[in-house]
Amino acid sequence: MLDKLKKRRTQYALGKTLPLPEAQVDALIREAIRHSPSSFNSQSSRAVILFGEESDRFWNIAREALRAIVPAADFAATSKKIDGFASGAGTVLFYEDQGPVKALQDNFPLYAHNFPIWSEHSTGMAQLAVWSTLADAGIGASLQHYHPLVDAETAKTWNIPASWKLTAQMPFGSNEAGFPEKSFIDDDVRFRTVGTRSLESRAA
């Protein structure tokens, strides 16, 4: 598992040649989300998996939405960035269905304020599961956030239920470049381990 987690990196240099048939990639994405945890097992995560021209269509929606708000002088750079995401083989749109979230709020008023937060946690877990699963299959991906800018047009294009809230977009494809070295902050800053005898005796 840790090996798989370590394989996951942000890949911006995406190509269209997948190492697996699209149907298998689709199945992997579904399985990864299906087996991701959710608060009270509410299974609130949803996904729209776009391949080929449908993925291009999404990135054109993002491009046009950005054209409306990015200063004209900066738009060429923005559009080039979007080209990079569209150069992949597909895109996963991650959603959280607010229906089950609302039902939990109604059924458990004591935790009502927590369910939207836990729904955000659940989508993060689903995203990590998909990203790591794709990486393990030799497929590169990155994590993008063009919502709420793209929400209305995306919902119209793929007939997305009104209760689905877009939380992330993951363009994926072949790895067309290596990954830069990743540095890590000191363990002393991040971690405290308490009460483990074996670690204490190692330090002594």
Ligand X SMILES: Cc1cc2nc3c(=O)[nH]c(=O)nc-3n(C[C@H](O)[C@H](O)[C@H](O)COP(=O)(O)O)c2cc1C
The runs of H, that is alpha helices, within 35-163 are 52-67, 72-86, 98-107, 115-136, 151-157
The nearer residue to ligand X, 44 or 175, going by C-beta atoms, is: 175
CB of 169 to ligand X, least distance (A): 9
- Say how many Å lie between the first and final Cα of the chain, rounded: 31
Angle, alpha carbons 171-176-182 (nearest 5°): 80
9 in contact with ligand X (CB under 6 A): yes
Q: What is the DSSP secondary structure assignment for residue 144, as one 8-state letter?
A: B
As a whole number of angstroms, the distance between CA 150 and CA 58 comes to 9
CB of 179 to ligand X, least distance (A): 6
144 in contact with ligand X (CB under 6 A): yes
**Binds ligand X (CB under 6 A): choice among 13, 125, 143, 155:** 143
**Binds ligand X (CB under 6 A): choice among 142, 154, 167, 175:** 142
- Unique residue bearing structure tokens 């939207």: 116
Segment near ligand X (CB under 6 A); pick from 43-51, 90-98, 100-108, 137-145: 137-145
Collapsing DSSP to helix, strand or coil, 133 comes out as helix
CB of 64 to ligand X, least distance (A): 19
**Binds ligand X (CB under 6 A): choice among 182, 190, 197, 202:** 182
The nearer residue to ligand X, 158 or 179, going by C-beta atoms, is: 179
- Unique residue bearing structure tokens 């491009």: 63
The nearer residue to ligand X, 38 or 123, going by C-beta atoms, is: 123
As a whole number of angstroms, the distance between CA 20 and CA 133 comes to 13
Segment near ligand X (CB under 6 A); pick from 33-41, 67-75, 96-104, 142-150: 142-150
Site string for ligand X, 66-105 (x = CB under 6 A): ----------------------------------------
| Token pair recorded at residue 18 | 């997948």
**Kind plus residue range of the DSSP H or E element containing 22:** helix 22-34
**Which residues of this protein are in contact with ligand X, per CB under 6 A?**
9-10, 142-145, 182
